């Protein structure tokens, strides 16, 4: 077995390399860690190939380990990652199903998931909920405020928008903001990251 050769095949997105890793892993000739390290050369192709296999042939443990190690590349989310909302970037603290049962990892396309986030984690942490199936960002009761200068920052704290955000992002400008309801609708959240941008 030539790991460098297999790694090259996987880097190029060739299915033969992925098949070899699965075969060697099933024969216990390589460990979970070695398999994930090889798949890590091209996690997108590796995950797509394995996910498309029929259920009986799919190496479920490997697909799960790959998604945990490379969530952005495999289109998965997990606590600790960041999500861009209509209110700005927020850090995911928990992911739950429709009944609020915690989920450690899920696809970005998972239906009926709810996220607990902390917006503005580096300046003024603010907890909010996101109901992905309803397309709603939920602030605590009492409404929220949106910066009208950029339209990209929303907070339930008027002072945060009028002072902190305006001074940090729009230095020298007069604060301009609007009152919004506690529930903010959104069409689709597409940006996820392992660090805040």
Helix-strand-coil split of the chain, %, nearest 5? 30, 25, 45
Cα distance between residue 50 and residue 29, in whole Å? 19
Which pLDDT score is estimated for 189? 66
What is the distance between the alpha carbons of residues 91 and 30, in angstroms, rounded to a whole number? 35
pLDDT given for residue 92 in this prediction:
95
pTM: 0.83
User: Using CA atoms, how far apart are residues 87 and 91, in angstroms rounded to an integer?
Assistant: 12
Residue 178 reports pLDDT greater than 90: yes
């Amino acid at each position: 077995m030539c790991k460098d050769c297999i790694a090259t095949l996987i880097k190029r997105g060739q299915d033969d390399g992925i098949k070899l890793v699965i075969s060697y892993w099933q024969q216990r000739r390589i460990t979970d860690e070695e398999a994930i390290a090889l798949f890590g050369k091209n996690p997108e192709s590796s995950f797509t190939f394995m996910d498309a296999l029929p259920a009986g042939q799919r190496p479920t443990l490997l697909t799960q380990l790959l998604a945990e190690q490379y969530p952005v590349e495999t289109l998965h989310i997990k606590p600790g990652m960041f999500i861009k909302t209509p209110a700005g970037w927020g850090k995911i603290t928990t992911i739950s199903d429709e009944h609020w049962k915690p989920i450690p990892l899920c696809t970005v396309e998972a239906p009926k998931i709810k996220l607990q986030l902390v917006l503005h984690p580096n300046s003024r942490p603010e907890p909010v909920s996101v109901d992905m199936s309803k397309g709603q960002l939920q602030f605590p009761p009492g409404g929220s405020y949106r910066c009208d200068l950029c339209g990209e920052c929303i907070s339930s704290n008027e002072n945060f928008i009028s002072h902190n955000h305006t001074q940090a992002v729009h230095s020298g400008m007069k604060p301009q903001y609007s009152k919004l309801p506690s529930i903010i609708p959104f069409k689709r959240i597409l940006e996820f990251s392992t660090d805040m941008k």
